Amino acid sequence: MFDNYKFTAAERFMRYVQIDTQSDPMSDTSPTTEKQKDLSSLLAKELKAMDIADAHMDEFGYVYATIPSNSNKKVPVICFCAHVDTAPDCSGTNVKPILHKNYDGKDILLPDDSTQVLSVKAYPYLQQHIGSDIITASGLTLLGSDDKAGVAEIMDFANFILTNAAIKHGEIKILFTPDEEVGKGTDKVDLKKLAADFGYTLDGGDLGSLEDETFSADGVQLIIHGVSAHPGYAKDKMVNALKIAGEILVALPKGEWSPETTDGKQGYVHPVHLTGIAEKATIDFIIRDFDAKKLADHESKLKVIAETVMQKYPAAKMEFIVKEQYRNMKEVLDKNIDVVNYAAEAIRRSGLKVKQESIRGGTDGSRLSFMGLPCPNLFAGEQAIHSKLEWIGVKDMNKAVEMMVHLAMIWEEKS
């Protein structure tokens, strides 16, 4: 099916990464940075040039497009989704992508900063790309494979489907979002307008990976109200909120229950921000677990620890505010199991092994799933993301395109 097809994902990718689309966590606008629209408007234009009549970018920088069905069956509408922004952690200005043809397996010195060395030792996945092409940045910036790989692959998928009319498929939606990296990727999405039944984000790593589980996440704000007094005359009056906050942090269990001591399916409690004065101190925590019940248990345990410290200071008061952040998409996907099963089948039909994985984080897919669009995450080939050593294998990108084509065919076939 792909023998005579000239894949365009890598060529598109090399162009898209040169457009700076870094998002900004401190901004209150939508999108958080206007420059994200530079890429989004280009994508809308390129989709239009493929004869997708309704392709457009909206005022918030979201791109919507519809590939019409060519099947006479009633096929559920699926959507492929990727984000255009890059992470604020690392510069995305003047990205110079380098195509290393026929990679020889040696360490790669990035030319613009010789301290940046992409080594097989640190990134053993490179070994699977010996003899094929890989793409890196030049040493001063990230590459932006997260998630311009997904963007380029979806664009190539659209190109393939529209130029291979013999492939039967239902209606397929394309969605490009801004601001995923700052947690606002779904804030302004219009799911009514999108009108899809099921979605897939293309924002994963290694070949064959299928992520159908994310953390469930809450934030906890612990506010301690102390008692203020003039320090010179504070004897038996002052209760210093900062010191209580310090005591609560010291009372957290050591060697467990934290990001730095957990992995796999373990959850954690993590103080991320501490501010205050003697009169009032605030500690912000993030709480994470795969299981909503355990998430609540972590919160109760944290509350007990804080209350135990507070008992020593009867004049001080505490507020314990829990805010829901996102939920494990598995809750939703388990009720829509075809979405995951068909993706696994598409990965196998692409000649790959399925690597079903859990994400120790959230994705736009977790939010979309709970907003009504069940949405697992599929591999896009991204490696060493959010860093100057970020790289991607061209054959992984092409496989992602193949997988999407199979997926579209499977939905039609099973309908």
Where does this chain touch Zn ion (CB under 5 A) — which range of 99-107, 139-147, 215-223, 329-337? 139-147
What gap in Å lies between CA 399 and CA 352, rounded to an integer? 9
Grouping H, G, I as helix, E, B as strand and the rest as coil, residue 162 is helix
46 or 146: whose CB is closer to Zn ion? 146
Fill in the per-residue mask, 156 to 195: x = in contact with Zn ion (CB under 5 A), - = not in contact: ----------------------------------------
CB of 211 to Zn ion, least distance (A): 11
218 or 382: whose CB is closer to Zn ion? 382
299 or 364: whose CB is closer to Zn ion? 364
177 or 216: whose CB is closer to Zn ion? 177
Residues 218-277 that bind Zn ion (CB under 5 A): none
Could you confirm whether 190 is annotated as catalytic? no
Residues 48-107 that bind Zn ion (CB under 5 A): none
Is the Cβ–Cβ distance between 236 and 315 less than 8 Å? no
Residues 7-26 that bind Zn ion (CB under 5 A): none
Where does this chain touch Zn ion (CB under 5 A) — which range of 69-77, 142-150, 218-226, 277-285? 142-150
CB of 145 to Zn ion, least distance (A): 9
Which pair of tokens denotes residue 411?
A: 């939905």
Where does this chain touch Zn ion (CB under 5 A) — which range of 21-29, 48-56, 129-137, 145-153? 145-153
147 or 197: whose CB is closer to Zn ion? 147
Where does this chain touch Zn ion (CB under 5 A) — which range of 41-49, 147-155, 301-309, 341-349? 147-155
CB of 147 to Zn ion, least distance (A): 4
Q: How many residues bind Zn ion (CB under 5 A)?
A: 3
Could you confirm whether 85 is annotated as catalytic? yes
Q: Smallest Cα–Cα separation from 404: which of 4, 39, 7, 49?
A: 7
CB of 153 to Zn ion, least distance (A): 13
In terms of phi and psi (left: phi > 0; alpha: psi -120 to 50; beta: otherwise), the region of 139 is: left
46 or 203: whose CB is closer to Zn ion? 203
Which pair of tokens denotes residue 55?
A: 């392709």
Q: How deeply is 145 buried, as exposed, middle or buried, from its count of CB atoms within 10 A (0-12, 13-18, 19+)?
A: buried
Q: How deeply is 139 buried, as exposed, middle or buried, from its count of CB atoms within 10 A (0-12, 13-18, 19+)?
A: buried
> Choosing from 146, 156, 179, 180, which is the catalytic residue?
180
What gap in Å lies between CA 149 and CA 393, rounded to an integer? 10
Name 337's Cβ contacts closer than 8 Å, sequence gap at least 6: none
> Choosing from 20, 46, 85, 179, which is the catalytic residue?
85
What gap in Å lies between CA 47 and CA 56, rounded to an integer? 8
| 184 φ/ψ angles, rounded to the nearest 5 degrees | -120, 20
Is the Cβ–Cβ distance between 84 and 150 less than 8 Å? no
Site for Zn ion contains 147 (CB under 5 A): yes
Return the CA Rg of the chain: 24
One residue of 146, 213, 299, 364 binding Zn ion per CB under 5 A = 146
**Residues in a beta bridge with 170:** none
Is the Cβ–Cβ distance between 198 and 78 less than 8 Å? yes
- DSSP assignments along 100-128, one per residue: ETT--SS-EE-TT-TT-EE-TTT-GGGGG
Is the Cβ–Cβ distance between 248 and 220 less than 8 Å? no
CB of 203 to Zn ion, least distance (A): 4
146 or 289: whose CB is closer to Zn ion? 146
Residue 264 one-letter amino acid? G
Fill in the per-residue mask, 198 to 217: x = in contact with Zn ion (CB under 5 A), - = not in contact: -----x--------------
Where does this chain touch Zn ion (CB under 5 A) — which range of 143-151, 193-201, 240-248, 297-305? 143-151
The catalytic residue positions are: 85, 180
What residues line the site for Zn ion (CB under 5 A)? 146-147, 203
